[in-house]
Amino acid sequence: MNRPEALDTPTAVLESRRKAVLSVLGRGVLVLQAAPIQFSSRDGERPYHPDRELFYLTGATEPKTVAVLVGGDEPRLVMFVRERDAEAELWSGIRLGPERARERFHPDECHPLSEVGKLLPDLLKAGDRIHYRLGRGDEVERHVLRALGFRRARGARTGTGPLAVVDPGAVLDDLRVVKDAHELALLRRAAEVTVEGHRAAAGAIAPGEGEWAVEAALQAAFRSGGAGGVGYESIVGSGANACVLHYVDNASIIERDALVLIDAGAEYGLYHGDVTRTYPASGRFVGAGREIYELVEAARVAAVAAVRPGAPVGDVHTAATRVLVEGLVHLRVLDGDVDQLIKDEKHKPFYPHQTGHWLGLDVHDPGDYARDGVSRKLEPGMVFTVEPGLYFRPDHEATPARFAGIGVRIEDDVAVTQRGCEVLTRSLPTAADDVAALVRSARGR
């Protein structure tokens, strides 16, 4: 559970976001719903994860909340929330109810959830299109579909009613890509807590230790630092497990000469950190492991150097890829002209993913990376990861024997500034000897 103050978005920030959405919405209507409650089995309720779009626009985190933003000549935000219920609150905690929700989120109207059926149809008919994510099959979706039917059957006579249903991302995604000052503050704190967790995890690494024990140290530090928990399933992959990009079993014993790849991020105020470091279990990078680590670190440095306002976001991946391919040629993993090797994607068996992704309320935040085949230009306030890596799967025919089972990824979180970028996770070292020292320091060596 996140600390309450971390979830308290200032009213002025919410009003600014709604104004920005209304400027894009035109005469449309935007409908956002709380995420459904998840169950592991029978009545075993899982920890609740609020819908990020709803939170971004309203600050609401309670289940079953519905928000309707109406554009046009009389723009307004109408919210529907659960009523107070003493019996239900005994089991699941205090509800806000319409009165407290009105005081906290400052909508133009706030009604009990039981009034959705009575009030929502007229709100939907007021727009020329409805921005709503289909697929839930619930009461709200049925009203959306009926509103379309109304337009087809009778709206042509009056020129009223919605003509289409459009994904909410059409108006929200671009706005969410550029973070406001409040979001940047939360992302900085999420990065700080994430770094604290990685330091704790590095100190738990030792030959003969279980990957799960390292994961436990990591997540304990997240919670101690005020995080709501992990932003995604933590990866603690030692040896060949590091070559599995989404390895989350964390079930092996760490061998003495293994490298241990940890990809984990804390969630703070619903915002995410996302950091990867690769640590030597022995406390020192040596031999082939050191060669690969230093190559990936060189790629990270080049990628971060490419981050600046006005630069295409694709330049970050291009910079990292060139360094990696040049290095693979030097190490005789690849052979040929660097430009041609990149064009032919000969690096893909060893570097199959992009160098980063948008970061924010979602660990993979929404937003296009290219438009009509042209890479998007970076702007101040954009936040994303920089995460080059190399993976030498033991069972892959292209893997040289001396590198088999080595997987290295180094990932930082960066925010674009007016002059370049701010590395939010800079307090966690990336240089090989400094990273190794984090492991050794816990042993007093």
Q: Which residues form the catalytic set?
A: 43, 246, 263, 274, 353, 357, 364, 387, 391, 409, 411
The two beta strands, 235-238 and 229-230, are unpaired
CA 171 to CA 131: how far, in whole Å?
8
**CB neighbours of residue 98 within 10 Å:** 21
Residue (of 46, 138, 140, 34) closest to 92 by Cα position:
46
**Which residue type sits at 360?**
G
* Most distant CA pair in the chain, distance: 82
DSSP strand E in 317-428: where?
370-371, 374-375, 383-386, 389-391, 407-409, 412-416, 421-423
The answer to whether the CB of 290 falls within 8 A of the CB of 432 is yes
Output the six-digit token pair for 330.
């030097």
Rounded Cα gap, residues 354 and 227, in angstroms = 28
**Is 314 within 8 Å of 375 (Cβ atoms)?**
yes
Environment class of 43 (CB within 10 Å of its CB; exposed 0-12, middle 13-18, buried 19+): exposed
Determine if residue 381 is left, alpha or beta; phi over 0 gives left, psi from -120 to 50 gives alpha, anything else beta.
left
